[in-house]
Amino acid sequence: MNVLVIGANGQVGQHVIDQLKDRNHKTTAMVRKQEQVDKMKQLGADEVIVADLEGDFSKAFQGQEAVIFTAGSGGATGADKTLTVDLWGAIKSFKYAEHAAVKQFVQLSSIGAGDPDAQPDKIKHYMVAKAVSDQMLMTTALNYTIVRPGPLTNDPATGLIAKAETFTDVGDRSISRADVATVLIESLTNEAVRRQAFEILEGDKQLADALSES
């Protein structure tokens, strides 16, 4: 499958590119800066496209069968970038994907995006952007999967997760970026998570088994 990874230079995106090189997929990494191209090739990307989510990046979708959207403006930017990148950039991606007849769209969201009003004020703008983006994706004709991980760590992958529509108690649980990347990749071909949005945390179930549960 030809897979476009948007936000490939992000922390989760790099794990996605690295893991995809060992799968039966051809990967295109989309990055914002020319100086990021060599890193993507070293990680294993078959092709790299330099494009900006705040501009026209429709060319990146040509010949693609699936999209993994991991892009985000990052914690160091203001609410304006959250709107133009996390929200509007994602919505443009849906439109481009539909026009290109993409078969599967996997979106990295965030735990709590199902209920932004329940989130702390300091991150509410971010959660609203994620929630609206998720809801817009759900209205498209795309075969989507929306993955909402809890707090992210750089711990090694365990291959063990917990999955729920909504967790009632997160506590101090988290999940590694490497495991999140694996969930995103597995969602490309797992029919059980088609047109679903769900939250994930570290857990005790094998990743593939957890995803396949209703």
Tell me the catalytic residues. Answer: 126
Q: What is the DSSP string of 75-121?
A: TTS-HHHIIIIIIHHHHHHHHHHHHTT-SEEEEE--TTTT-GGGS-H
Report how far Cα 206 is from the mean position of its chain's Cα atoms: 20
CA distance 146 to 113: 10
Walk across the sheet containing 2-6 and list its strands.
47-50, 26-31, 2-6, 66-69, 104-108, 143-149, 196-202, 160-164, 205-206
The helix or strand, by DSSP H or E, that contains position 213, with its residue range, turns out to be: none
**Half-sphere exposure (Cβ direction) of 112: Cα atoms closer than 13 Å:** 17
Identify the CA nearest to 150 among candidates 188, 129, 179, 121: 179
Q: Do 175 and 201 touch, CB atoms closer than 8 A?
A: yes
Q: Phi then psi for 103, rounded to 5 degrees?
A: -80, -35
Residue listed under structure tokens 């991606």: 93
**Do residues 54 and 24 touch, judged by C-beta distance below 8 A?**
no
